[in-house]
Chains A and B, each alone.
Chain A
Amino acid sequence: MISCDKAAVICNKAQYDEATFYEKVKLKFHILICKACSVHSKKNAVLTSLCDKAKLSNLSETEKEAMKNKLKETVS
């Protein structure tokens, strides 16, 4: 049987579709007997769906650097 820590890691991997089939089976069995992990895994899935729904977007680090440089230029 796997520990809760391991289950949490697999659960996070599963959110990004990076858990292997064997890992998912292990997680499912763990969730069957562990109330806390079952709650956590449900919340985790909701968080993923919220992030998808919000269609988040952000700037890359290079774009931010460019912005910082431009700001510096105007200050000096």
Chain B
Amino acid sequence: MTSHSLHPDTWVDQYADYLFNYAVIRVSDAEIAKDIVQETFLAGLKSAKNFKGEAAERTWLISILKRKVIDHYRKINSNKGKAEVRMTYNSSVDSDGDWLEEQVADPYSILENDGIENEELGSAIHNCISKLPKKQGQVFKMKTIQGISTEDICNELEINPSNLWVMIHRSRTALMDCLNQNWFNI
């Protein structure tokens, strides 16, 4: 097995989006997710000497991030009583006595996997984007995720529109190939 090493200088460029996407799904708040990512990087720096090189950099950072997410939930639930699990019994007349039946998951529902699947899809896409050449990835993210208009991107990056569309085309083709391997066939 090859041993891995850490390159903190490149962390933000390489993993910030991936980690952010991971965190934002779990805490559903962009500001908190941003703080968590920042804390993750700081904690990573602090404990860099404990890094044994057994896992890839990203896996290692994700495992720190997971801890940070748990810490976050501990913190907001630390006030006594907030941590209690509350169950509300629906006291409408129709449901008289059907308490147990109501709590059972609908066996015919196909919706509950959607959240998990979309989450994994998001990670898969970010993973693929991170494999693109830097410029292409940047253009694709600006266009697809942030939805910035063609004109604005061209001004900001000082390229012309046909140049932009070529980069979009290349990144989309590469993404299709990558997702074909890492996700269901598209």
Tell me if chain B binds chain A.
Answer: yes
A2 at the interface (CB under 8 A from B): no
- Contact check, A57 vs B30: say whether CB atoms are below 8 A apart: yes
Does any Cβ of B come within 8 Å of A55's Cβ? yes
Which of A44, A47, A67, A75 is B37 in contact with, Cβ under 8 Å?
A67
Q: In the complex the two chains form, what is the Cα distance from A58 to B162 in whole Å?
A: 25
Residues of A within 8 A of B69 (CB): none
Known interface pairs A9-B169, A12-B169, A47-B175. Does A57 touch B145 (Cβ–Cβ under 8 Å)?
yes
Bitwise, A55-68 to B at CB < 8 A (1) or not (0) is 11111100110011
A58 touches B141 (CB 8 A): yes
Question: Is A33 an interface position by the 8 A CB rule?
Answer: no
Tell whether, in the assembled complex, residue A50 and residue B165 are in contact, meaning their CB atoms are under 8 Å apart: no
Contacts of A12 in B (CB 8 A): 165, 168-169, 172
Q: Tell me, rounded to whole Å, the shortest Cβ–Cβ distance linking A69 to chain B.
A: 10
- Category for how many chain B residues contact A: 35 or more
Q: Report how far A13 CA is from B143 CA in the complex, Å.
A: 11
Q: Tell me the nearest residue of chain A to B24, going by C-beta.
A: A57
Partner among B20, B30, B118, B176 whose Cβ is within 8 Å of the Cβ of A44: B176
A residues in contact with B144, CB < 8 Å: 16, 51, 56
Say yes or no: B20 contacts A59, CB within 8 Å. Answer: yes
Residue from the list B37, B122, B168 in contact with A54, Cβ < 8 A = B122
Interface size class of A (residues with CB under 8 A): 20 to 34
The 10 closest A-B pairs by CB, nearest first: A54-B122, A58-B17, A54-B121, A46-B186, A56-B145, A68-B12, A9-B165, A67-B12, A64-B12, A59-B20
Point out residues on B near A: beta carbons under 8 Å. 8, 11-13, 16-17, 20-21, 24, 30, 34, 37-38, 41-42, 45, 118, 121-122, 125-126, 141, 143-146, 150, 162, 165, 168-169, 172, 175-176, 179, 183, 186
Chain A positions near chain B (C-beta within 8 angstroms):
8-9, 12-13, 15-16, 18, 43-44, 46-47, 50-51, 53-60, 63-64, 67-68, 70-71, 74-75
